[in-house]
Amino acid sequence: MGRLEGQVALVTGGGDGIGRAVVDRYVREGASVVVLEREKRLATMVADAHPGRVATVIGDVRDPAAHLAATERALDMFGQLDTYVGNVGVYDFGAKLHDLEIVELPDNFHEIFATNVLGYLLGVRAAISALRSSRGSIILTSSSSGSYAGGGGALYVASKHAVVGLVRQLAYEFAPDVRVNGVAPGATRTGLTGIGDLGGGRRLSEETRLLDSIARSIPLGFVSEPEQQAGLYVSLACPDDTGFVTGAVFPNDGGLEVRGRRAAACPGREEQ
């Protein structure tokens, strides 16, 4: 028996990247999963990979109706909902504030925050009654950018700091019925995309030079694959493992916290 035997999970963005890795791992651990996915092609692929164990709903996380439909699908098909995983995000590819046109800034802000923050609020609101009934758990995907500057631009970093605050506030609001935690991945080879003129059409997994540069700054020396992120999502969904854990955000970033500050170069001295 797997660690999640008999559980039912709802994963947003479960057709690709970390979301798909979480779905695959949850099924291996015995769970049934509903996936909310915007792209029909990706939804079809994940459902075909796990017949009878994965159901899909096509929709955008900015749409309240999509979340309501996904929760209803879980209850109708599997009779319960034990874990909600919020996982959809968009990136700004490090856009600096002074490079953003002021007239376009409101639209950029609203698109990133509507996806990265409001999308989680809507999903949790739709699922919370079912999660309270099962005394389940909520897992939100943050980022190393929720703790450190420099992993994105002002908009992305601010949105991921907001997710950390959301984890803590919801853990406070929903205790003792529902545990709320987060995972903060570092650089991971996923299809994370930008928006509009902030990397719209770019996919992080295709940015080889950028990922190679990031890898050199990571203590472990490499960029994560999605499958290397999935284990924490299993542990946080398993009450036997983490039944006394709530309000925590767990880094999975290759050791960014131990980098320390780069020494300032001194005249006549090479940086170590």
Q: What is the dihedral of CA 87, 110, 60, 248, to 10 degrees?
A: 20
| 84 labelled catalytic | no
In order of 16, 41, 92, 160, 192, the CA distances from 116 in angstroms are 16, 22, 11, 7, 12
Angle between helices 119-134 and 64-78 (to 10 degrees): 30
Residues found in the chain? 272
CB 30 within 8 A of CB 7: yes
Q: Which pLDDT score, from 0 to 100, does residue 236 have?
A: 98
pLDDT by residue for the chain (272 residues), tens only, comes to: 799 999 999 999 999 999 999 999 999 999 999 999 999 999 999 999 999 999 999 999 999 999 999 999 999 999 999 999 999 999 999 999 999 999 999 999 999 999 999 999 999 999 999 999 999 999 999 999 999 998 999 999 999 999 999 999 999 999 999 999 999 999 999 988 998 888 888 888 888 988 998 898 899 999 999 999 999 999 999 999 999 999 999 999 999 888 754 444 444 444 43
In the set 91, 148, 156, 233, the catalytic residue is 156
Category of 37 on φ-ψ map: left (φ > 0), alpha (ψ -120 to 50) or beta: beta
Structure pTM?
0.93
